[in-house]
Amino acid sequence: MATKAYECMFILDSNRYARDPNGVATKLHEMIESCGGELLASRLWNEQKLAYQIRKHRKGTYWLTYFRMESTKLNELTRACQLNDNVLRNLTLAVDERLVDALVAHARGETAAETTEEAPAAT
């Protein structure tokens, strides 16, 4: 079956992330890969106060990932997120294939000129 590109925003436990940022990020990557996903980009988005408490937490760390996965494996990833103590909430969206390269480049901090050749000027 063909894979699709997905964007997933995780809200992480801020306390656990503050104690071990690399460990929490590594566990997220391993979770995606164990469900058959191929990680394209992953980065810290923001840390802020939540609009309402989630599992008695007032602050959350937002982590953005882009990955490719078979759509049949999404339920497995959702279940893994529910069982992971670091993840308070997550939202996974399918990404249009035409936008994948630009979104991944932006998430990695690259500019469009670095990822694609510039188009010649019209004469």
Q: Report the C-alpha gap between 100 and 102 in whole angstroms.
A: 6
Domains within the chain, CATH numbers bracketed: 3-115 (3.30.70.60)
pLDDT digit string, tens, across residues 41-65: 999 999 999 999 999 999 999 999 9
Q: Which pair of tokens denotes residue 95?
A: 């990404």
Q: Report the C-alpha gap between 106 and 123 in whole angstroms.
A: 30
Average pLDDT of the segment spanning 30-47: 93
Average pLDDT of the segment spanning 20-41: 93
What's the whole-model pTM score? 0.81
Q: Report the C-alpha gap between 3 and 90 in whole angstroms.
A: 20
Q: Report the C-alpha gap between 116 and 11 in whole angstroms.
A: 32
